[in-house]
Amino acid sequence: MKIAIAADHAGFALKERLRLKLAEEGHEVTDFGTGSTDSCDYPDYAHEVARAVGEGRSERGILVCSTGIGMAMAANKVTGVRAAPAQSEDEVRLTREHNDANVLTLGARYLDENRAAALVKLFLATEFAGGRHARRVAKLETER
């Protein structure tokens, strides 16, 4: 799978470990930065990943910051992106099955490497359920 990944300074270390793990699993990973723990602005990185997903250059995106919330807010400004922060298996499964989330945002403050890797694996493996959920997801792209 083609995966876009990025983080801000708070998520850099976790992003690096996830990037390596995804590559080892055979995914085609595009890293949009940051490249260090130097302070930076998370929207810059969220928008790069979101554009890659929204334009179809990547199938899914992974974003890491301190909480996962800021990255989700920034990524969701891009057309075609449904970014969701998650910390539990149930949240990840449901956001894929019911909301067809295509970007997962993670909080490095709350997740260790093993837990984050398990959530990413579930995010990539879970399919959208479609059906009644497809009608609702379609409404996310419609301004009312």
65 is catalytic: yes
Of 95, 105, 89, the residue nearest 45 (C-alpha) = 105
In angstroms, how far apart are the furthest CA atoms of the chain? Answer: 45
Confirm whether 98 is a catalytic residue. yes
Catalytic residue among 9, 27, 47, 65: 65
Kindly name the residue from 9, 27, 98, 133 that is annotated as catalytic.
Answer: 98
Q: Where are the beta strands (DSSP E) in the chain?
A: 2-7, 28-31, 60-65, 83-85, 103-107
Collapsing DSSP to helix, strand or coil, 78 comes out as: coil
Q: Which residues carry out catalysis? A: 65, 98
